[in-house]
Structure 1
Amino acid sequence: MDRRDFLARGALGAGAAAALAAPALAQISQPALRWRLTSSYPKSLDAIHGAAEVFARTVAELTDDRFQIRVFGPGEIVPALQALDAVQAGTVEAAHTTSFFYTGKNEAFAIGTGLPFGLNTRQQNAWMYEGGGIEAMNELYAKFNAYGLPLGATGAQMGGWFRKEIRTVQDLQGLKMRIGGLAGTVLQRLGAVPQQLGGPDIYPALERGVIDAAEWLGPYDDEKLGFHRVAPFYHYPAWWEGAATTHLFVNLEQWNALPRSYKAAIRTACAEATHWMVARYDIRNPDALRRLIAGGTQLRPFTREVLDACWREAMALEQELAARNPDFRRIHESWAKARDDMRQWFRVAELSFDNYVALASSRR
């Protein structure tokens, strides 16, 4: 064999090996897709809005840029609280929003985000991915022409900003508060007047006195939105959101038409963005809270009287909804079993560890 024949054979062998090693996605012609995603969260909020950007970038990277998703802020295509409606109608292919914004369609939407006095972030994630939560919620979402996946989680939130300190249940009487999901129903049963407002509309309403209080998320976002400038009392904890899962909603026909590899890219990108959002808030909330307090914010815990009253109403509401709403009952059975099982385990492991470390650290 002469040298040229040897090199030719070597080149053919190398080419065959490269072809075998090439990613399957590169060998199979996949469609070039351009989707629009409408977000319910202001672009100024780099964690919660930013999660959609991380998601879109990851999808593009996983598909060699053949599947690109452009993210739009609230109001650029539709208002913040009409994101799911736009997906349902096919106005956009996808949305990043919060499931409990749509309890007016069906109260069971709230479970996808989190119920009052419900699961923490790890527990909600466990129920979603290992407890059948994604499948259970999608039986509901399919009725609204949507497919949903967790895309982001905030961790435990703060109880919101108040013009006046809340010390007793009586202080809730007539209180006009921006609050979403079933928590608004709980407060309404205690005399408050819940308001459903999208992120961009909260500050102007609080500044003008249209509302007396507002909850959004936590120190990092709340500082950016400027609530501390118009309401001095910052209460905690957000008993309505021990965790808040945000969602990707995809138009159901568009989802069903996707190649398997693109569906896998979306699932992977959602998980990536969720981890990213939790980490971003956990790192940035502490410094933001210190800045707020240094600037005059008055940090206040909800009293035991207020928490106990809210707990009683929340538990009663759960049972009432399960009794009259078949969708809520079906999903709640799965969710409640996971909740009870995980609480027993967390009481032994996580809570005992966290409580001891918190007490020991405070004595240093």
Structure 2
Amino acid sequence: MDRRSFIKKAGFAGAGAVAASTLAAPAIAQGNQTWRMVTTWPKNFPGLGVGAQRLGDRITAATGGRITVQVYSAGELVPPLQSLDAVIDGSAEMSHGAAYYWQNKNTGLSFFTGVPYGMTSRELTAWVRYLGGQEIWDEIYDQFGVQGFLSGDTGTQAGGWFRNELTGLDSVKGIRFRTPGLGGRVWEKLGATVTNMAAGEIFQALQSGTLDAAEFVGPYNDLALGFYQICKNYYFPSFVEPGLATELVVSKEKFQNLPADLQAIIKDVCQAEYDAVAADFAANDPRALQTLVNDHGVKVLPFPEEILEAGAKASLEIIQELRDSSDPLTKKTTESFISALNIVRQKTEGTDSPFIIAREKYFHL
């Protein structure tokens, strides 16, 4: 996809946001409601933006129109990184983004997107659905009058785009790197200067030299965003985002006022979309990577062992800091995450990983 045509379609212009802000409040007639979903993603953005739109459409269809979801892409109603605040202040009923974007509200939220050297996406869902994660997530969001649900899964992400090749820790010192969440804190410990910005802002920052490196998700998204036009060194895999999850956040009051069947539909559609987005990325990341390599001369590289080892050390330090946090919910979230990880990694490392190694070694069609 040509980046310029993609960005044009994405509708980043501020005029759209101004026009959208004049929209009337949600209509409620004969038991039917219109809910606004604001997102952090560009319009028609592969995997994530498409997934948000599909989630909204599925809720509308499954409820027979009793809830009609109007989806607004990044900047159409509110700036992308103000999506959660829009639900908190009542400007929207739903937001679609990533929980670690809001770590300034409570650091514990970062655990529900991705943790450096932490859970894969399959492990994360096990924690959230069956090992107490959802209940702790609810506690954190209760403070803000909202409720969160897992809504999408990118799988293990790419490590990022770098203007220059990485030869070791010394090559990380001082680079200006776009990367969010706890992963950003890891890279800071390694010597990078870290910032976060929305998807639609990254290319320009790379082009202008404001950034030396950036990571977003992986080939499927990164091809559309055009990073290959600036950087050619593409590192795999990410050791700070092993299994990223997106979230749907809803106004808790409005959600709890819904009949039980509509509450169940929203929960079930979120779970279905989590799996649908995972399949979308699994199918399209490899094909996008082939395009990046074959058509655009991108070099796929592994991180030097020195960086991987230092990243693991920094990750352990950060987890321990959070474990010792003075904030009770951050501490509680960290303890729950560690306990669950020690359970779920047994299957991943004892069953899944040995199979993958054996398949790679012996089975080629």
List aligned pairs for 1:60-71, cutoff 5 A.
60-71=60-71
List aligned pairs for 1:48-197, cutoff 5 A.
48-197=48-197
In 2, Cα distance between equivalents of 1:240 and 1:44: 26
The 3-state SS of whatever aligns with 1:65 is coil
In 2, Cα distance between equivalents of 1:181 and 1:245: 12
1:187 counterpart letter in structure 2: W
The 3-state SS of whatever aligns with 2:135 is helix
2:339 counterpart letter in structure 1: K
Q: Which residue of structure 1 lines up, in the alignment, with residue 341 of structure 2? A: 339
The 3-state SS of whatever aligns with 1:96 is strand
Q: Which residue of structure 1 lines up, in the alignment, with residue 318 of structure 2? A: 317
Contact map agreement 1:120 1:155 (CA 8 A) in 2: yes
List aligned pairs for 1:246-325, cutoff 5 A.
246-294=246-294, 295-324=296-325, 325=327
TM-score in terms of structure 2 length = 0.89
Work out whether 1:349 is the aligned partner of 2:351.
yes
Contact map agreement 1:83 1:96 (CA 8 A) in 2: yes
Contact map agreement 2:48 2:277 (CA 8 A) in 1: yes
For residues 278-305 of structure 1, the C-alpha deviation after alignment (integer angstroms, 9 at most, x for no partner) is 0011001111111111120011100111
In 2, Cα distance between equivalents of 1:61 and 1:74: 23
Contact map agreement 1:236 1:301 (CA 8 A) in 2: yes
Q: Which residue of structure 2 lines up, in the alignment, with residue 201 of structure 1? A: 201
Q: Which residue of structure 1 lines up, in the alignment, with residue 42 of structure 2? A: 42
- TM-superposed deviation, 1:30: 7.6
1:300 counterpart letter in structure 2: L
1:116 counterpart letter in structure 2: P
- TM-superposed deviation, 1:260: 1.1
Contact map agreement 2:46 2:220 (CA 8 A) in 1: no
The 3-state SS of whatever aligns with 2:224 is helix
- TM-superposed deviation, 1:189: 1.5
For residues 189-220 of structure 1, the C-alpha deviation after alignment (integer angstroms, 9 at most, x for no partner) is 22110011001101110111100000001111
Q: Considering only aligned residues, what root-mean-square deviation do their CA atoms show, in Å?
A: 1.4
- TM-superposed deviation, 1:228: 0.4
- Give unpaired runs (5+ residues) of structure 1: 1-28
For residues 72-117 of structure 1, the C-alpha deviation after alignment (integer angstroms, 9 at most, x for no partner) is 0111111111111111111101100100001111111100112111
- Give unpaired runs (5+ residues) of structure 2: 1-28
For residues 113-152 of structure 1, the C-alpha deviation after alignment (integer angstroms, 9 at most, x for no partner) is 1211111111111111111211111100111221000011
- TM-superposed deviation, 1:345: 2.2
1:37 counterpart letter in structure 2: M
- TM-superposed deviation, 1:256: 2.0
Contact map agreement 1:56 1:269 (CA 8 A) in 2: no
Residues 196/31 of structure 1: CA separation in 2 closer, same or farther (3 Å cut): same
In 2, Cα distance between equivalents of 1:358 and 1:333: 35
For residues 49-93 of structure 1, the C-alpha deviation after alignment (integer angstroms, 9 at most, x for no partner) is 111122112212221112111100111111111111111111101
- TM-superposed deviation, 1:46: 2.9
In 1, Cα distance between equivalents of 2:83 and 2:168: 36
In 2, Cα distance between equivalents of 1:38 and 1:288: 27
1:333 counterpart letter in structure 2: E
TM-score in terms of structure 1 length = 0.90
Contact map agreement 1:103 1:110 (CA 8 A) in 2: yes
Contact map agreement 1:116 1:240 (CA 8 A) in 2: yes
Contact map agreement 1:40 1:97 (CA 8 A) in 2: yes
In 1, Cα distance between equivalents of 2:164 and 2:177: 12
Contact map agreement 2:177 2:213 (CA 8 A) in 1: yes
Q: Which residue of structure 1 lines up, in the alignment, with residue 242 of structure 2? A: 242
In 1, Cα distance between equivalents of 2:318 and 2:54: 36
The 3-state SS of whatever aligns with 1:69 is strand
In 1, Cα distance between equivalents of 2:335 and 2:318: 15
Counting matched residue pairs gives 335
Q: Which has the larger radius of gyration?
A: 1
Contact map agreement 1:149 1:248 (CA 8 A) in 2: yes
In 1, Cα distance between equivalents of 2:30 and 2:285: 41
1:349 counterpart letter in structure 2: T
Deviates more, 1:57-66 or 1:97-106: 57-66
In 2, Cα distance between equivalents of 1:321 and 1:212: 29
The 3-state SS of whatever aligns with 2:155 is coil
In 1, Cα distance between equivalents of 2:336 and 2:182: 18
For residues 166-206 of structure 1, the C-alpha deviation after alignment (integer angstroms, 9 at most, x for no partner) is 12111111110000001111111221100110011011101
2:97 counterpart letter in structure 1: T
In 2, Cα distance between equivalents of 1:75 and 1:339: 36
List aligned pairs for 1:19-30, cutoff 5 A.
none
In 2, Cα distance between equivalents of 1:42 and 1:311: 32
Percent identical residues: 31
Contact map agreement 2:322 2:334 (CA 8 A) in 1: no
